[in-house]
Amino acid sequence: MLLTPFEGDRFLFAEIVRLCAVHKIKTIVETGTQYGSTTRALALLADQVVTVEMASFSVFGLPPNVLPLHMDSPEALRMVLPDIARPALFYLDAHGPDKTPLLEELSVLTKQVLFDCPIVIHDFQVPGKDFGFDQYGDQTVNLKFISEVISPLINAGFSIVYNSQVEGARRGACFLIPKKE
């Protein structure tokens, strides 16, 4: 178990830093707090961080610009979206014991017309790479798995980009980037 931000992946962190600068991100919403190490790193990049975890987690040591929520991530997204400062970056890293909330999270985001906000999906199968990814039974977290729900973003001109370098836990990531870039 790695207790460093982004499971020890400085390449992923560097790309998120870049996205925050390019898009002038004011708020970061993270699903899947777990131990809070990534949350603390994200707090350095935006005025506000909203972090959501279904399992119990400690809020001890979280910076004052972090709003921790202990609840279902799609429900939390529905609750906070009307009030967050934009543009925002969404870092989706929530897990379940036998399924992922990812499709419902993406559905909430696409229905809210957040077409100026980058979305980062962690633990994603990157084509042609041996990076780690999530799998739930016969469902692999990959482009085929999310394609239907992200079609409004693609139709709005979002680009799909994958990480090309990894370290630490060596996990894949998918970036849904608004056409601003």
For the chain, 181 residues long, the average pLDDT of each consecutive 10-residue run is 82 98 97 93 98 86 95 96 96 90 96 87 98 95 97 94 97 93 53
How confident is the model at residue 1, as a pLDDT? Answer: 45
How confident is the model at residue 180, as a pLDDT? Answer: 65
Residue 4 CA to residue 30 CA, distance in Å, equals: 16
Domain ranges of the chain: 5-177
Residue 176 CA to residue 23 CA, distance in Å, equals: 13
How confident is the model at residue 113, as a pLDDT? Answer: 66
Closest among 90, 114, 18, 97 to 54, alpha carbons compared: 97
Print the SS3 string covering 77-113. Answer: HHHHHHHCCCCEEEEECCCCCCCCCHHHHHHHHHHCC
How confident is the model at residue 2, as a pLDDT? Answer: 47
DSSP 8-class letter at 160: E
What CATH number labels 5-177?
3.40.50.150
How confident is the model at residue 112, as a pLDDT? Answer: 82
